[in-house]
Amino acid sequence: MKTLLYMQGLTKEYGKEKAVDNITFSLNKNTSTALIGPNGAGKTTTLSMLAGLLKQTTGSIVMDGEDTKDIRKMIGFLPQYPQFYTWLTALEFTEMVAKLSGVEPKMAKLEAEKTLEFVGLGSAKNKKTGTFSGGMKQRLGLAQAIVHKPALLLLDEPVSALDPIGRREIMNLLKELQANTTILYSTHILNDAEEMTDQLLFLRKGKLVEQGSMREVREKYANPLYKMYFSSSEEAALFVEMSPWPTRQEGPVAFISIEDGKPKMQEVLLKLANSNLSLSKVERATASLEEIFLQVVNKG
């Protein structure tokens, strides 16, 4: 598969803090990749460097054999909080961006119209953007990012402001775009990545802590779990403290992952028998995507 973009040792420092710390990865042509991580993990900083909005402290970004000096026309970017001129209509705004992004001036209006239709804003194209709802703004943000048919589409949390239906719709649009576009988007919700994403990159405190396809990540982390219900959060916390196995807590429930068939329930119960903790229920489950996310970003 052909590589569109490659970055090596990308680092961004703010004083002593490393917002992005020595990350290396590549994006293959016409694939989609999710940058996943909790707040402050470095997702926006990474996307901003790729979009050319921020200069990296060290490291290199190479796109399709070229250095990234004049690649604005090859890139479409949807910022986390897109801003529009409220007094322009969606069509006027998208047409303006099309011209700025290198679409031939006489084609700009037509391309803007086609793009607004594609993102589901065809009937709102003559409305002023200042009247748009959150979901409409997100669609317009996507429209302005793709109107010039960029080879690389960078999207910062494209669905986090949307309800579940809006999320699904935008993810479906991205799936269609992927036929001709390389997509890198950030999210803090692993579930959003499930359907279409080829590659997952997990960031934590600026570092790339895991990467792989959804299948690979599931295989690695979706070990069976015991869910142990205690009478209080304090009891669950005490159990996590005394457990020699990989264990974490959510309220009154402690989760123990079973790696290579270990621990056995018998061992867990023996451990409990020697404590004063009162267990009310045990369930065996497989890690959900949310639990996988927590395991990955909390490891190390």
For residue 42, state whether it binds ligand ATP (rule: CB under 6 A). yes
In the list 7, 10, 19, 51, the residue contacting ligand ATP (rule: CB under 6 A) is: 19
Q: Which stretch binds ligand ATP (CB under 6 A): 41-49, 81-89, 132-140, 235-243?
A: 41-49
Q: Is the peptide bond before 246 cis (omega within 30 degrees of 0)?
A: no
Distance CA(182)–CA(157), nearest Å, equals 16
Stretch 235-274: interaction string toward ligand ATP, x if CB under 6 A: ----------------------------------------
Nearer to ligand ATP, 160 or 233 (CB): 160
Closest separation in Å from C-beta 38 to ligand ATP = 7
Q: Which of residues 56-85 bind ligand ATP (CB under 6 A)?
A: 80
User: What is the token pair recorded at 212?
Assistant: 């792989």
CB of 173 to ligand ATP, least distance (A): 22
Alpha-carbon span 148 to 144, nearest angstrom: 8
Cα–Cα distance, 91 to 82 (Å, whole number): 16
Alpha-carbon gap, residue 212 to 164, rounded angstroms: 25
Radius of gyration, CA atoms only, the chain: 23
Task: Give me the least distance between CB of 45 and ligand ATP, in Å please.
Answer: 3
**One-letter amino acid for residue 209 of the chain:** V
In whole angstroms, the minimum distance from the beta carbon of 205 to ligand ATP comes to 8
Residues 289, 126: Cα–Cα separation, whole Å: 41
CB of 157 to ligand ATP, least distance (A): 7
Size of the chain in residues: 300
Give the DSSP H/E element, type plus range, for residue 248.
strand 247-250
Q: Does 44 bind ligand ATP (CB under 6 A)?
A: yes
Q: What Å distances lie between residue 169 and 41, 76, 81, 136, 166, CA to CA?
A: 26, 19, 19, 12, 5
Residue 208 CB burial class (10 angstroms; 0-12, 13-18, ≥19) = buried
For residues 184 to 213, the per-residue mask of contacts with ligand ATP, x marking binding by CB under 6 A and - elsewhere, is ----x-------------------------
Query: Quick one: which of 36, 41, 78, 217 contacts ligand ATP (CB under 6 A)?
Result: 41
- According to CB under 6 A, which one of 2, 39, 70, 274 is a site residue for ligand ATP? 39
Short-list 80, 187, 101, 87, CA closest to 144: 101
Give the interface segment with ligand ATP, choosing from 14-22, 63-71, 107-115, 284-292 (CB under 6 A): 14-22
Q: Give the C-alpha distances (Å, rounded to integers) separating 300 from 254, 257, 284.
A: 19, 16, 25
Contact mark string toward ligand ATP, 132..161, x via CB under 6 A: ------------------------------
Among 31, 33, 45, 138, binds ligand ATP (CB under 6 A): 45
Alpha helix (H) residue ranges in 119-199: 134-146, 164-177, 190-193
* Closer residue to ligand ATP, CB minimum distance, 3 or 80: 80
- Interacting residues toward ligand ATP by CB under 6 A: 14, 17, 19, 37, 39-45, 80, 188
